[in-house]
Amino acid sequence: MPALCLVLGLLWTGPVIAESAEIIALGDSLTAGYGLPAEAGFVPQMQAWLVAEGVEAHIVNAGVSGDTTAGALARLDWALAPEADAVIVTLGGNDLLRGLPPEEARANLDTILSRIAARGLPVLLVPITAPGNYGPEYKAAFDAIYIDLAAEHGALLSEPFLAPILVLPDRQAAMTEYVQPDGLHPNAKGVALVVEALGPEVERLLARVK
């Protein structure tokens, strides 16, 4: 009997603890948390949301303020740490601010998604909606980038990053309450709305982690 107990004791090592998945949040100032206290940006608020939901995951902030799709592509190799299990891609806002051609943003995002796919990592692509001041053709071409590339690369596609704010019935009141004075970046309350909308999408992303 003692020998049997010893054998069983050697075979049983206790419950297996799954390691926390690592998500790389690749983006620009919207991801980086521009203009906000460290704890109020998109990544820390999304991390807190996941913890509250009991989700085992760690998000790495790979957002760089001012980054275009070209800038993100240039730093992609070092941004994708070897430990990465999944990627959230939120890019395109600075391409829009500079009025860069939609075909350039499309080509850069296409390459970014291809390189991520080569690593076997699932992706959540978060669109940025073009304003109408560049004309309807520009807007249609830019907005289509995310739909087309998500389909081509098999990436998850969420609603646009700022949609939870922009869909509120009183646009002027929403901008005052949820957006910083620059009119571009959400404040802490605005980020909370974004996180509430994107949280379930991040859970869907994690479900794809192998």
| Active centre residues (catalytic) | 29, 182, 185
**Tokens 């989700």, located at residue:** 55
Tokens of 73: 């592509």
